[in-house]
Structure formats: structure tokens, C-alpha cells
Amino acid sequence: MNHEQLQSELLSIRHLMERSAKFISLSGLSGILAGCYALVGAALGYREVYGLSSKVGYRDHYVTEEAVLVKLVIIASVVLLLSIGTAIWLSARKARKQGQGIWNPASRGLLNAVGVPLVAGGLFVLVMIARGTYGLVAPACLIFYGLALVAGSQYTYRDVKGLGILQIVLGLLAACLPGYSLIFWSLGFGVLHILYGFIMYVKYERGVA
């Protein structure tokens, strides 16, 4: 074997080790879209609570009103389902293009790692809503989602860890500044998703997708 052959052999082995342990079909494009859904959802939520009739910053309604609460929960659920659906759809499409399945040891590891903090956080948020303590709902969403991303990052692109840490930081800031939840929620689930989705799209998908 000559020099180039040896080096490319070593490189392909390293690449295989990485590819076998990490889910590399995660779609950056789906991150961008999820961020857009979140921003639209936040805008709709803002309209429900603050109304359009008064000046910015003055409320027409309060979250404690049942009708408003139901609408907010519906908006949040639609955003969540759309985001998950888009992520699965686009990741499956990317996996097909890479000649891989979407269901493999790496994706199973990713789901397991992400699932625990996400389910725990989701239940915790539901309990808070049921008990009428709404103040920490948005910070809890951000913090638990961030923890899920950090936990899952070892099974996919390393960039996801950075995104997770930023979500946790935003969640903690939101907890310190009551009343600004929607802004932090929009920054975390909207702006950061678009930003990281774009970075991942440029880094890993241009030319592939």
C-alpha cells in the first residue's frame, strides 16, 4: 500500500467509527423551520394575551383567563407537533439521501438520551399549568429542552451541545426576569433554532440535500 492509500484507509475507518456512533442525518433545515413555527406561535400567543388594541406592553388579557389559557395551550401544542413532524420528515429524507436508515443504534441512543429530560420537563410543565403557577412555565420549557439537547449531543453533531447550553442560560435568565417569558421563549425556540439550523445546514447539508 502506498502513502495515500494508507492515509485514506485510516481516514475512512475514523469516519466509519464516527458515523456508526452519531446520528448525522439530523436536518438543519428542520431547525430553521421549527424556529419559524415558534416565532409565528409566539406572535399568535402575544396577540391572545396582549391584544392588538392597546399599546405594546399593555395587556388586554391575563393568562389566568381560561379561554386565553386554552388558546395558548393549543398554539403551543400545534407548534410542538409541527416541529417534531418536520424534524422527523426532513431527517428521514436526509438519511435516505445518505443511503442510511433513520432507525439505527445512533438514532435510538439519541432518542433515549433526549427523551428522559424532555418527558420529565413536559410533565413538570403540565403540572405547573394544572396548579395555576404559570410564572415558570416558559423558563422550565427552555431549561429542560436545553438539558435534553446537551444529553443528546453525544449522539449527533457537537453543535447541538452549544445550542442546549444557550437554551439553559436563556431559561435561567427568564426565571430571573418574570414578565419577559415570551421574549426569552421566542429567542430560545425561535431565533436560536433558526441560527443553529442555518449553521448546521451550511456546515453539513449544502451539497448533500
The answer to whether residue 128 forms part of the interface with other proteins (CB under 8 A) is no
The answer to whether residue 154 forms part of the interface with other proteins (CB under 8 A) is no
The answer to whether residue 13 forms part of the interface with other proteins (CB under 8 A) is yes
The answer to whether residue 18 forms part of the interface with other proteins (CB under 8 A) is yes
SS (H, E, C) 2-61: CHHHHHHHHHHHHHHHHHHHCCCCCCHHHHHHHHHHHHHHHHHHHHHHHCCCCCCCCCCC
DSSP code for 158: T
Task: Rank residues 9 and 65 by Cβ distance to other proteins and give the closer one.
Answer: 9
**Stretch near other proteins under the rule CB under 8 A, chosen from 63-71, 78-86, 101-109, 134-142:** 101-109
The answer to whether residue 10 forms part of the interface with other proteins (CB under 8 A) is yes
Distance CA 190, CA 183 (A): 10
Q: How many residues bind other proteins (CB under 8 A)?
A: 19
The answer to whether residue 20 forms part of the interface with other proteins (CB under 8 A) is yes
Query: Contact positions toward other proteins, by CB under 8 A?
Result: 1-3, 6-7, 9-10, 13, 16-21, 99-101, 104-105
